[in-house]
């Protein structure tokens, strides 16, 4: 965590051209340091930045590409303003939220992996605070597939804490936890292109999960996001970009996946003990079959929910293997598995014994009881 960032106080209204000064610096091609980024994004998320200023700031950063310091600053503000979820005493929280934006059209892999990790990890003191939202670029967002499966969204934080304790998993529906984003939302919609906020979302888990697996839509982002997590104080995290062959031949799917892939090698930047290391992980080295992308695609949340149900009830095939691999990564960063190989064994066991399905059933039941 960057020293002092969390102690910064919002600047009083009336300060001489604060956002204009920030914009002038960006126009000159000079990026913001972390403290300046905290200040700028606090202005945006407090509603003190004019919409035109917010749009200009987001566009200027996006055109150049966000820096580690700018991401740290934006994430710090968003974390501070989030509606928090308390983690039950004695439990360790993890997350499996990715950036989205890979256009691969797959079922909700990280959501299914979260359920499997909950089933395997809860008896060992692990819980999953799954952070997510509606779909923007995919066929099915995490909220949409969970809603289809019967999970009630946007429940009170006390209920989410209860879910962590009894089901081993809760779903933190992003709009319910980040009310400050209402100030930037209309501007983002009007801009119509990806901004720094697309990268910040997975960095702002409402339960403060210090261990997580984050999938990214570009291999260029693995080390960058890992270094952001390092500065934000993550204990153990994996940032992954999985290769996905473009079987259509039209370039529409960009050859990548913001998950661990079983269709090709994975570029993984790992944060642990204050260090960032990068490796390539081939699923075949873990005795997994090389999957085919078409076996993972869906047309919408109903089909995604069907595949997840089939995985959780023991159906063999490519979806089962890719879910188990992503759950293995979650169990590894969670500290209950010493390696991906051990995590795979635990994940398959949670599926085959019904523990993963039980986690989903408990989540449905507990959220349905919420007033």
Which residues, including other chains, have CB under 8 Å from residue 353's CB and lie 6 or more apart? none
**Widest Cα–Cα separation across the chain:** 63
pLDDT at residue number 10: 42
Distance CA 222, CA 269 (A): 6
Give me Rg for the CA atoms of the chain.
20
Phi, psi of 100 (to 5 degrees): 70, -170
pLDDT at residue number 1: 43
pLDDT at residue number 104: 80
Which CATH number applies to 92-176+195-368? 3.40.1030.10
Strands (E) in the chain, as ranges, are 92-95, 126-132, 169-173, 211-215, 236-243, 256-257, 266-272, 275-281
Which CATH number applies to 5-81? 1.20.970.10
pLDDT at residue number 5: 42
In sequence order, what are the beta bridge partners of 362? none
In sequence order, what are the beta bridge partners of 297? 106
Is the dihedral angle over the CA atoms 247, 251, 254, 255 positive or is it negative?
positive
Q: Are 312 and 113 in contact (CB under 8 A)?
A: no
- Determine the 3-state secondary structure of 270 from DSSP: strand
Per-residue pLDDT of the chain (371 residues; tens, 9 = 90+): 443 443 444 444 444 358 999 999 999 999 999 999 999 999 999 999 999 999 999 999 999 999 999 999 999 999 999 999 999 999 999 999 988 777 788 999 999 999 999 999 999 999 999 998 876 545 678 999 999 999 999 999 999 999 999 999 999 999 999 999 999 999 998 998 889 999 999 999 999 999 999 999 999 999 999 999 999 999 999 999 999 887 665 555 556 899 999 999 999 999 999 999 999 999 999 999 999 999 999 999 999 999 999 999 999 999 999 999 999 999 999 999 999 999 999 999 999 999 999 999 999 999 999 75
Domains 5-81 and 92-176+195-368 share a fold: no
Distance CA 108, CA 112 (A): 6
Q: Closest Cα partner for 91 from 118, 127, 128, 130? A: 127
- How does DSSP assign 47-78, residue by residue? T-S-HHHHHHHHHHHHHH---HHHHHHHHHHH
pLDDT at residue number 250: 54
Q: Which residue has the tokens 């642990």?
A: 272
Distance CA 120, CA 126 (A): 8
pLDDT at residue number 83: 95
Domain ranges of the chain: 5-81, 92-176+195-368
């Amino acid at each position: 965590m960057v020293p002092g960032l969390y102690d910064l106080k919002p600047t009083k209204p009336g300060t001489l051209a604060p956002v204009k000064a920030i914009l002038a610096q960006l126009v000159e091609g000079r990026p913001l340091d972390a403290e300046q980024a905290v200040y700028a994004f606090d202005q945006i998320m407090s509603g003190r930045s004019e919409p035109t200023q917010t749009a200009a700031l987001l566009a200027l950063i996006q055109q150049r590409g966000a820096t580690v310091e700018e991401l740290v600053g934006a994430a710090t503000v968003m974390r501070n303003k989030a509606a928090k979820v308390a983690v039950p005493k004695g439990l360790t929280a993890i997350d499996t939220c990715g950036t989205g934006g890979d256009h691969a059209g797959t079922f909700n892999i990280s959501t299914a992996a979260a359920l499997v990790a909950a089933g395997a990890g809860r008896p060992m003191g692990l819980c999953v605070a799954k952070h997510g939202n509606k779909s923007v670029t995919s066929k099915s967002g995490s909220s949409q597939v969970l809603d289809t499966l019967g999970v009630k969204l946007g429940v009170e934080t006390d209920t989410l804490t209860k879910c962590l304790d009894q089901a081993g998993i809760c779903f933190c529906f992003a709009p319910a936890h980040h009310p400050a984003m209402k100030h930037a939302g209309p501007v983002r919609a009007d801009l119509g292109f990806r901004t720094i906020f697309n990268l910040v979302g997975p960095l702002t888990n409402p339960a403060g999960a210090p261990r997580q697996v984050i999938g990214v839509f570009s291999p260029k982002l693995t080390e960058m996001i890992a270094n952001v997590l390092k500065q934000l104080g993550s204990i153990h995290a994996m940032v992954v970009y999985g290769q996905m062959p473009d079987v259509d031949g039209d370039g529409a799917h960009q050859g990548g996946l913001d998950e661990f892939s079983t269709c090709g090698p994975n570029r993984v930047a790992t944060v642990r003990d204050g260090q960032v290391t990068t490796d390539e992980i081939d699923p075949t080295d873990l005795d997994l079959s090389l999957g085919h992308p078409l076996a993972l695609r869906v047309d919408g949340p109903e089909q995604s929910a069907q595949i997840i149900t089939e995985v959780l009830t023991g159906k063999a095939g490519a979806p089962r293997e890719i879910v188990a691999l992503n759950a293995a990564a979650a169990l590894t960063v969670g500290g209950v598995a010493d390696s991906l190989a051990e995590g795979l064994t635990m994940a398959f066991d949670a599926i085959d014994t019904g523990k993963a399905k039980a986690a989903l059933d408990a989540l449905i039941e507990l959220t349905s009881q919420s007033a």
